[in-house]
Amino acid sequence: LCAHPDLCEKVAKLKELTKDSQEEQSRAGLQSMEGEELANFTQMNNSYREKFKFPFILAVRNATKYTVLSALEGRLPNTPEKEIAAAMEQVHKIAWMRILTKYYSASYPGFLTCHILDTANGCPAAKMRISLTRLSPPESAGIVCEF
């Protein structure tokens, strides 16, 4: 978690970011914050880092700066244990969104999604191992990744 890029930094200053991270942060509009909005975000971000000892992590691919600000404000009161779990969930969400982007193809219409349900309890299943497997074409069939 500590190695994750800080959302508060300008993308231009973070040349070591992956292309995916640069695009996601740019799309969220984080670099367009100014004045009071930027000061508020910076203050909350610094409070978060001081409290939890790692940067605020959020899957920002489909987020706006308002979503990011709201999530940061909402997660600041968390306990360290709850926040580590929330941050890890976001890391997994980032990875999942990137996999969807890399493996979506116009020649295979549709949107890949995965929901594992605990039907006995009527809620999302926890601690399930998931394997993403490509079935075709035969020359590239096999396990793509595992979660």
Which residues are catalytically annotated? 4
**Which distant-in-sequence residues (6+ apart) come within 8 Å of 133 by Cβ?**
141, 142, 143, 144
Residue 35 to residue 134: CA distance in whole angstroms? 48
Of 69, 132, 64, 62, the residue nearest 94 (C-alpha):
62
Residue 143 to residue 140: CA distance in whole angstroms? 9
